[in-house]
């Protein structure tokens, strides 16, 4: 089983921090416009949000595992709900590599595997180095082609 790149934690922490700051700013606006709040409220919200975000990121990183098995891409992840998914190679429609602005700064990339399913139709493996992402994309593509694309649709 393969783990994600440790730097992915920074990405998740940054996302959580951003959400906490947005909530803090919203509360500050409420404080000025609607009703005065004790200064501890926005600060507390940001602090709690940031701590929860860090804990979440660390735990999620520890939970995330993926593996290429004989017939399927297998993934495990989730903090609140732990999900183990098998994506059979035959069902792979196409494979993307993607990275957002923050991921680019951190030197990370994601692989997204698309199936014809309704739920879990796109499966994302985040936190890969660009090299690893490209390699995984190529491997998946070859495996999908080898298994004689039969998408069951």
Partner 1 sequence: MASSETNRLHPFSAVMATIQRGVVGLSMPFFLIGMLSGLTDAVDPVWSVYLAPIGLVVGVAYGLAYYYRFEYELTRDTFDLSSGVFSRRSREIPFGRIQNVDVRQGVVQQLLGVAVVTVETAGGGETEAQLNVVSEDEANRLRREIRRLTAAAAAERSAEEATNEHGRAGGDETADLEADATGSEAIDRELETGGEPTRLFELSARELLLYSFTSFSFAAVGGVLFLLFFANDAAFGILLSLAEPLGGPATLDSASPLEYGVFGLVSLFNGLAVTYLLSVVYAFLGYYGFQVGRAGDDLVYERGLLQRYSGSIPLEKVQSLTVSDNPLQRRIGYAGLWIETAGYGPDSSGGSQSAIPLARKRRVYGFAERLSGLERPSFRRPTTVARRRYLGRYSIVAGVVVAGAFGFSLVTALENWWLAAVVFLVVPPAAHLRWANLGYYVGDRNLVIRSGFWKRRTTVVPYYRLQTVSTRRSVFQRRLGLASLVVDTASSRTFFWATPTIYDLEYEVARELRETTRERLQSALRERAESSNSDDGGGGVSVAFT
* Site residue total, partner 1 (CB under 8 A): 27
91 binds partner 1 (CB under 8 A): yes
1 binds partner 1 (CB under 8 A): no
87 binds partner 1 (CB under 8 A): yes
Distance (Å, whole) CA 77 – CA 63:
5
The three-state secondary structure class of 51 is helix
125 binds partner 1 (CB under 8 A): no
The count of other CB atoms within 10 Å of the CB of residue 140 is 20
Stretch 53-82: interaction string toward partner 1, x if CB under 8 A: ------------------xx-----x-xxx
117 binds partner 1 (CB under 8 A): yes
H-helix or E-strand spanning residue 76: strand 72-77
Q: Which of 79, 108, 75, 105 is nearest to 8 (CA)?
A: 108
Q: Which is nearer to partner 1, 40 or 153 (CB)?
A: 153
Q: Which is nearer to partner 1, 110 or 115 (CB)?
A: 115
Q: Which stretch binds partner 1 (CB under 8 A): 37-45, 60-68, 111-119, 134-142?
A: 111-119
The three-state secondary structure class of 37 is coil
Look at the alpha carbons of 117, 115, 103, 77 in this order and tell me if their dihedral is positive or negative. Answer: positive
């Amino acid at each position: 089983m393969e783990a994600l790149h440790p730097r992915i934690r920074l990405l998740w922490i940054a996302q959580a921090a951003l959400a906490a700051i947005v909530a803090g700013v919203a509360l500050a606006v409420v404080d000025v416009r609607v009703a005065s709040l004790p200064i501890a409220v926005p600060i507390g919200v940001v602090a709690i949000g940031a701590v929860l975000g860090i804990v979440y990121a660390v735990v999620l990183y520890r939970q995330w595992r993926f593996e290429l098995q004989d017939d399927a891409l297998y993934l495990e992840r989730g903090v609140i709900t732990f999900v183990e998914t098998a994506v059979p190679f035959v069902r792979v429609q196409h494979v993307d590599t993607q990275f957002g602005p923050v991921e680019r700064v951190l030197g990370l990339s994601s692989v997204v595997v698309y199936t014809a399913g309704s739920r879990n139709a796109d499966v994302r493996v985040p936190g890969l180095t660009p090299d690893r992402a490209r390699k995984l994309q190529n491997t998946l593509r070859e495996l999908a082609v080898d298994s004689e694309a039969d998408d069951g649709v």
